[in-house]
Structure 1
Amino acid sequence: MSVAVEIAVQDEAGLVVAAHAGADRVELCIDLEHGGSTPPLALVEACVSRTRELLAAHDAKPQFGVHVLIRPPSHARDFLGRPELFAFSDDQVEAMAADAAAAVAAGADGVVIGALAQDPDGTWHLDEGATERIRDAALEAAARALRGITVACHRCVDALPDAAARAEAVRTALRLGLGRVLTSGGAERALDGAADIAAMVEASEGIVDICAGGGVRPADIAPLVRASGATDIHLSGRLPSGPAPDAQETLTDPAVCTAAVDAAGAL
């Protein structure tokens, strides 16, 4: 079984650590303490440039790429069960669309997006209109550059109220042509949400990749994949405090990233 490893990084040095560890891609963002938000364009450009250098030197997997999180800043550390944190105004959606287009124009291999909306009866769901607007801006930028990208959905789905709502969000992502959905199955740790993730895998019909992430440690990867059937694993690979030794002043830990890649490769 082939399991891809995605590392969430916040700086260029973290990207290098992930590449050298053998990760398949990075999710580039800032402010991971609050769930992550859109990185500055200058950081996207620097990471794209460094990725090209790494690929030319054969210091990264051939498919290694930069996927940029598109999300406004949030001051909330915990978004589980709080879908209102992903309900965005029209102005915020337009700003995210512009950010997505700019990231792709800068050379990003994909963007990670998402928004939620509430029906009059109080039901929360993936906001198709907002997601389409951001998706289309990214795809139009890719078309102008004559290349393809991946559009993924971030963990907004974990703020939905239950497993049924998350499975329906996957079916919506399928209709919208998204390539991947990141989720913890609505749990603090993806391993604890494995049953819900399995339901999302079933809803994906083998077309949308379900990426299990949220409190993932290398030792979790084998039982998580076996219990959920997820095709991708996401983790930050961070040390809890201070830069990792020999990691160029980044919180991305080479040992954790390498252990995660090894665990996925053993499946």
Structure 2
Amino acid sequence: MTIPPGPIGRPLLEICVDDADGVAAAVAGGADRIELCGALALGGLTPSAALVAGAVASGVPVHAMVRPRDGDFRYDRAERTLATEEIGHMIRLGVAGVVVGAMADDDSLDLDALARWRDAARDVAIVLHRAIDLVADPVAAVEQAVRLGYDHILTSGGAATADAGADVIAAMVAAADGRIAIIAGSGVSADNVRPLIARTGVDAIHASASVREDWGDPRITAMGFASGPRRRTQLERVAALRQTIERR
């Protein structure tokens, strides 16, 4: 169920958000799709049902993260089962897709878990997230994702940022050969998005379009309720990405 690139052949713009204000900013700024998470500061966890329902009501297609906890992507049986159940909940809430990833103890993809989640996703799109950036050969892993029936791969090319991993992303696009959509993410902004698209030929761009903000009350971090500053999606950054991608 691969969703094609955006209008007139340009890459689709996906904005990842973790709260209602982020959803509103993504919609107003012109995002083609929302990746909805909880706790982006932890790399993104499964969002709440109410947040998913609100995002779906925006009318912009929503891909919901299904990640049962922070930390690594090696899940035990209970965690894999929980993720499977969460996929069902997300489908009932009306998402266009779900975003998952799992690794085996040998640092390869956990193909059994990924296959189970593909089956659970049924007719909605399914995305293999940046767990693929931790395997030894992300390019070879593209074929595994294709064989599992996945629709999208979100990747930084095995590097800390998509810009640094652009050559690997380009190789992943070539390996995909139109059979699965490659989404470039991590460190993408209006300043680097056009060169990144030109170097990689990706189907979609993934960005947070966010700014760092302090929590305000120092007790929040001092008492362990949060760690470090949060990031807030900024409408102006979403719009700048949208305009830059569309500029000819």
Same fold (TM over 0.5): yes
**Secondary structure, aligned partner of 2:170:** helix
**Residue in 2 aligned with 1:152?**
127
Query: Could you report, residue by residue, the CA deviation over 1:87-112 in whole angstroms, capped at 9, with x for unpaired residues?
Result: 11111111001011100111111101
Query: Could you report, residue by residue, the CA deviation over 1:41-79 in whole angstroms, capped at 9, with x for unpaired residues?
Result: 221122222x14xxxxxxxxxxx31110111221x5xxx
> Which residue identity does 1:260 align to in structure 2?
L
Query: Could you report, residue by residue, the CA deviation over 1:156-195 in whole angstroms, capped at 9, with x for unpaired residues?
Result: 011123xxx2012211111111111000111111101000
> Which residue identity does 1:35 align to in structure 2?
G
Output the TM-score relative to the length of structure 2. 0.86
Q: Check if 1:260 corresponds to 2:241.
A: yes
**Residue in 1 aligned with 2:112?**
129
Q: Is 1:3–1:265's contact at 8 Å kept on the other side of the alignment? A: no
CA distance in 1, matches of 2:49, 2:96: 14
**Residue in 2 aligned with 1:104?**
91
Give the % identical residues.
36
Listed as ranges, the gaps of 5+ residues in structure 1 are 53-63, 77-84, 140-147, 244-249
Equivalent residue for 2:185, pick from 204, 213, 234:
213
**Secondary structure, aligned partner of 2:15:** strand
Equivalent residue for 1:70, pick from 54, 66, 69:
66
Q: Which runs of 4+ in 1 moved over 3 A?
A: none
> Which residue identity does 2:236 align to in structure 1?
A
> Which residue identity does 2:153 align to in structure 1?
V
Output the TM-score relative to the length of structure 1. 0.80
Q: Is 2:173–2:202's contact at 8 Å kept on the other side of the alignment? A: yes
> Which residue identity does 2:103 align to in structure 1?
L
> Which residue identity does 1:133 align to in structure 2?
R
- 1:214 is displaced (CA, Å) by 0.6
Q: How do 1:1-267 residues align onto structure 2 when only pairs under 5 Å count? A: 1-49=9-57, 51-52=58-59, 64-74=60-70, 76=71, 85-118=72-105, 122=106, 124-139=107-122, 148-161=123-136, 165-241=137-213, 251-266=232-247
RMSD: 1.6
| Corresponding residue pairs, total | 225
Q: Is 1:242–1:251's contact at 8 Å kept on the other side of the alignment? A: no
Q: Is 1:97–1:135's contact at 8 Å kept on the other side of the alignment? A: no
> Which residue identity does 2:154 align to in structure 1?
L
> Which residue identity does 2:86 align to in structure 1?
D
CA distance in 2, matches of 1:242, 1:4: 31
**Residue in 2 aligned with 1:144?**
none
- 1:242 is displaced (CA, Å) by 5.5
Q: Is 2:118–2:149's contact at 8 Å kept on the other side of the alignment? A: no
